[in-house]
A and B are shown apart, each in its own frame.
Chain A
Amino acid sequence: MTINPELTISFSSTHRLQWEEAQQKDVILYPEGMVELNQPSAEILKLCDGTRTAPQIITVLEEKFSESNLTNDVNSFLEDALKNGWIQQS
């Protein structure tokens, strides 16, 4: 499974992304499990709202954190997220 740069990315309708006050972390919830996210992963996933493609997500993050060259890191995370079923493309 690879990310198609032409298509927008949305967060899975069968998973939930939520901030956990007790843990001071964002988590992904799904049947039989819970994944604790670090801050960069959570920032990427929050941008997967069905309006942006992968290159657009990268642009937003690079502007927000005044960084360049985030392309490889973000793409590799998105591919893992796709494999795990956290995000989808349509």
Chain B
Amino acid sequence: MAGSNNHNITPPRWLLAELTYKCPLQCPYCSNPLDYTKHNAEISTEDWKRVLSQARKMGAVPLGFSGGEPLTRQDLPELVHHARQLGYYSNLITYGYGLTEEKIIQLKQAGLDHIQISIQASSQELNDHIAGTESYETKKQVAHLVKKHGYPMVLCVVIHRENIHQMPEILAMAEELGADYLELANTQYYGWAHKNRDLLMPSKEQFDKAEAIAQAYKEKVAGKMKIYYVIPDFHEDRPKACMNGWGTTFLTIAPDGVALPCHSARELPGLDCPNVTEYSIEEIWNKSKAFNFFRGTEWMKEPCRSCDEKEKDFGGCHCQAFILTGDMNNADPVCSKSPNHHIIEEALDSARKSALSENEQPLIFRNSKNSKKYS
């Protein structure tokens, strides 16, 4: 394989298994690639089992079964069972639709450790609008069943301009549903969310208000429900330490077997991300060009190269640098030291204008028709 290096390579710790891009929902901030319809092949049950075994042997422990909607894979219980035997701590990341009580029991017996349900909003109307599918009531029923069968439950709500005003109701809903963990994930602007950014990006004032409400609620539910607040990095002046450092901790396998250092890395040019049908996880992790590309600091340009914070944020997010500046080797423009930081300011300004505009464009929903348009 192409890459080589002398870095101290730490083994993969977290494994994200994106089993499929199939999903009946159409969320306009979906993290799947815009052109997901081009990558509709899915690797076999045996391929997944081999991947799980190889990554576990290297030291991966937490495992997320994700998608698309992972419940559309008929072999899910078999994969969960295999993962449990290997000693993984496995999580089903689902929107809950179609998760019957029978299935919940079957997955528990197979060894599933916890379930993360995504809900789009605290009201039926908005949830069903954002999801592009009627799904609100079903999700609430599923949440009750998940608790009834003793799973720890994570509720995940992606936050954006259409639902940020519902923060008090979202918090109350999570408490009422008995969530053990509530993940309030401010939209990250890649792929579909990038396309819809003008319509999804809240203002700084909206962020600050919502965050204050969420932080205050943390105190109220201490010891009962843990709240994780994923910050919106467009309003920060330093970038996030993306993926805890490229190729140090996280390994994502896409539905067609492509191994990715982060789930958005498919969008980056020239990485030649390897496929698990051709290489072992050990070869991929240690030797591939893609996984070595941003390891260490040699790849950096200025202002990162001479920055005293380069070991802290590793230059930020390469996908964000690529989408916003056209060069993935640039510093993440979220950083106020970046010569491209004005792009962030302009994006915020554009979203603000769009919010005030009388004829706002409609949201572009994630579906195969739109995906083919952007392929």
The CA of A23 and the CA of B12, in the complex, are separated in Å by: 12
Q: B59 near A31 (CB under 8 angstroms)?
A: no
Q: A20 near B61 (CB under 8 angstroms)?
A: yes
Q: A31 near B61 (CB under 8 angstroms)?
A: no
Instruction: Report A24-44 CB contacts with B as 1/0, cut-off 8 Å.
Output: 000101111110000000000
**A32: which B residues are within 8 A, CB to CB?**
154, 181, 183, 228
The CA of A85 and the CA of B224, in the complex, are separated in Å by: 9
User: A16 at interface (Cβ–Cβ under 8 A)?
Assistant: yes
Q: A13 near B150 (CB under 8 angstroms)?
A: yes
Q: A16 near B113 (CB under 8 angstroms)?
A: yes
**A14: which B residues are within 8 A, CB to CB?**
114, 150-152, 180
Q: B87 near A18 (CB under 8 angstroms)?
A: yes
Chain B residues with a Cβ closer than 8 Å to the other chain, count: 22
Q: B223 near A31 (CB under 8 angstroms)?
A: no
Instruction: Report B170-187 CB contacts with A as 1/0, cut-off 8 Å.
Output: 000000000011010000
User: B24 at interface (Cβ–Cβ under 8 A)?
Assistant: no
Q: A22 near B181 (CB under 8 angstroms)?
A: no
The CA of A14 and the CA of B62, in the complex, are separated in Å by: 14
**A29: which B residues are within 8 A, CB to CB?**
61-62, 89, 113
**B13: which A residues are within 8 A, CB to CB?**
34
Q: A1 near B223 (CB under 8 angstroms)?
A: yes
Q: Which 4 A-B pairs have the closest CB atoms?
A: A22-B59, A29-B89, A14-B152, A31-B114
Residues of B within 8 A of A (CB): 11, 13, 57-59, 61-62, 87, 89, 91, 113-114, 116, 150-152, 154, 180-181, 183, 223, 228
